[in-house]
Structure 1
């Protein structure tokens, strides 16, 4: 079974687009003969995120973690208990391409680190910000970017290193570093780039939104 784990903290505005895109990826994987389970981990949600997931027929679990690392960890643990052999992770403000799951499995690796691209730059975000961001991003094979929005890992390797750590931020980076230290086979690919938001009002501190906000301060 392939398990997709999506943490969400008050993401009602963007979760629908995420799940619509995920539905296409799931359909392709199921057509290829895979069983796929999608779980949205509602972490301290006080908005309509649960209703959005229900509208798309996606299972949810409510947690009081207040931590994206713990939310991912709890969601992964639940799916592993159900027999998941591959864990695919993305974010509630992101949209995966239709071939996302099949591309991960096609890499024939224990870990697959994918790339992201900005879905739509906001009108007020200056061209200088876009240029600065793109100048430092390697959207190519062999890159070394780590994104919780596009990450896949086999259950065996995940459990070997103890899984996601209950961190407030950079839980994805820590997991991949732990996997590297364990000798896991890792593929760094740009073949299934995930569209993500350019917002700077991050739900998770020190995440991608804060990274963009920091870049803005470097523009004269």
Structure 2
């Protein structure tokens, strides 16, 4: 079973679009592969309509009050492993996966983990200078070395071997991949596995992707 795990903290604005994109990816996968896919939203300390959206969309969900993305991701991943998931695909509630997101993950098998790329949904609220700095920094290519919780997938075995997501408020994704590298697990760095993510500057996690954009937008 493939599990898609999405942490959400007050993500009502983007959650529906996120789940719709995942459903499209599942539908495309099912045209050529008979694989069970289950989607789980992990609602962390939500006070908006995120729960209602998850219910309306008919996806599985669990609730917690961690206010910690590392603990939230780990709860969701371990929950799905306990239910029989052998491959876990992580994304974020403010992101939309490409239609071939799951299909490309299967094409990269066998591997222990896949680090995909992200692209910005729009640049309208960001300056031309920020866009230039971002594009100069970002490697949208095979064998890149970017790590995004919004586009990270792995086998259940590799996840457990590496000790899972740590209880970190940010960089839990980087920590997990570093643990996998220390174990010499096989990691594919692919720009064929793609996700479009929000250009918002109001960060949910300190030092996360929104914080990175904010630093580019307002340099010291």
Tell me if both proteins adopt one fold, taking TM over 0.5 as the criterion: yes
- Secondary structure, in 3 states, of the residue corresponding to 1:88? strand
C-alpha separation in 2, matches of 1:206 and 1:218: 14
Structure 1 length as normaliser, TM-score?
Answer: 0.97
- Secondary structure, in 3 states, of the residue corresponding to 2:96? coil
C-alpha separation in 1, matches of 2:86 and 2:162: 15
Q: Which moved more, 1:158-167 or 1:2-11?
A: 158-167
Uncovered stretches (5+) of structure 2, i.e. residues with no partner: none
C-alpha separation in 1, matches of 2:157 and 2:193: 23
Match of 1:99 in 2: 100
C-alpha separation in 1, matches of 2:158 and 2:202: 33
Q: Number of aligned pairs?
A: 218
Matched, 1:178 2:179: yes
Cα deviation for residue 141 of structure 1 reads 0.3
Match of 1:8 in 2: 8
1:30·1:36 contact (CA, 8 Å) conserved in 2?
no
Give CA-to-partner distance per residue, 1:90-136, whole Å, 9 cap, x none. Answer: 000000011111211211111100000001123x4211111111110
Cα deviation for residue 144 of structure 1 reads 0.1
Cα deviation for residue 70 of structure 1 reads 0.3
Q: Which moved more, 1:103-112 or 1:9-18?
A: 103-112
Cα deviation for residue 176 of structure 1 reads 0.2
Cα deviation for residue 28 of structure 1 reads 2.1
Match of 2:162 in 1: 161
C-alpha separation in 2, matches of 1:61 and 1:140: 35
C-alpha separation in 1, matches of 2:175 and 2:161: 14
C-alpha separation in 1, matches of 2:123 and 2:72: 28
Match of 1:207 in 2: 208
- Secondary structure, in 3 states, of the residue corresponding to 1:46? coil
C-alpha separation in 2, matches of 1:192 and 1:158: 19
Match of 1:120 in 2: 122
Structure with more of its chain in strand, by fraction: 2
Cα deviation for residue 193 of structure 1 reads 1.6
Match of 1:43 in 2: 44
1:22·1:98 contact (CA, 8 Å) conserved in 2?
yes
Aligned-residue CA RMSD (Å): 1.0
Give CA-to-partner distance per residue, 1:170-204, whole Å, 9 cap, x none. Answer: 00000000000011000001012210000010111
C-alpha separation in 2, matches of 1:30 and 1:70: 31
Matched, 1:27 2:27: yes
C-alpha separation in 2, matches of 1:64 and 1:183: 34
Structure 1 runs of 4+ off > 3 angstroms? Answer: none
